[in-house]
Amino acid sequence: MNVLSFVQAFFSDSAHWQGYDGIPSRLLEHVQYSLLALAIAAAIGLPVGLLTGHTGRGGNAIAVVANAARALPSFGLLVLAVLLIGFGLLPVMIPLVVLAVPPVLVTTYEAVRAVDPAPVDAARGMGMRESRVLFRVEVPVALPLILSGLRTAALQIVSTATIAAYVSLGGLGRYIIDGLYQRNYEKVVGGATLVAVLSLITLALFWGVGRLVVSPGVRRR
Partner 1 sequence: MNGFFDIPSDLQHSWAGLIGVHLREALLPVAAGLLLALPLALLCNRFRWLYPPVLGVTTVLYAVPSLAFFVVLIDWTGQTELTVMIPLALYSLVVLVPAIADGVRSVPDETLSAATAMGFGTVRRYLQVQLPIAAPAVIAGLRVATASSISLVSVGALIGNQGALGNLMAAAQKYDRPELAANAVLTTAVLAVVCDAALVALRRVLTPWMPRSGRKRTAAPREELLTKGAAR
Pick the closest to residue 31 from 208, 180, 215, 201 (CA basis): 201
Looking at beta carbons only, is 110 or 138 nearer to partner 1?
110
Least separation in angstroms between residue 166's CB and partner 1 is: 7
Residue 31 neighbours by CB distance under 10 Å: 17
- Contact segment (CB under 8 A) with partner 1 among 121-129, 134-142, 143-151, 211-219 equals 143-151
Least separation in angstroms between residue 128's CB and partner 1 is: 27
Burial code (b: 16+ CB inside 10 Å, e: under 16) for 146-166 equals bbebbbbbbbbbbbbbbbbbb
Residue 7, interface with partner 1 (CB under 8 A)?
Answer: no
Residue 163, interface with partner 1 (CB under 8 A)?
Answer: yes
**For the window 100-129, what string marks contact with partner 1 as x by the rule CB under 8 A?**
---x--xx--x-------------------
Among 101, 112, 155, 164, binds partner 1 (CB under 8 A): 155
Among 51, 58, 166, 214, binds partner 1 (CB under 8 A): 166
Residue 93, interface with partner 1 (CB under 8 A)?
Answer: no
Among 151, 157, 170, 174, binds partner 1 (CB under 8 A): 151
Residues that bind partner 1 (CB under 8 A): 1, 3, 59-60, 63, 66-68, 70-77, 79-80, 82-84, 103, 106-107, 110, 148-149, 151-152, 155-156, 158-160, 162-163, 166, 173, 176-177, 179-180, 185, 188-189, 191-192, 195-196, 199-200, 203, 206
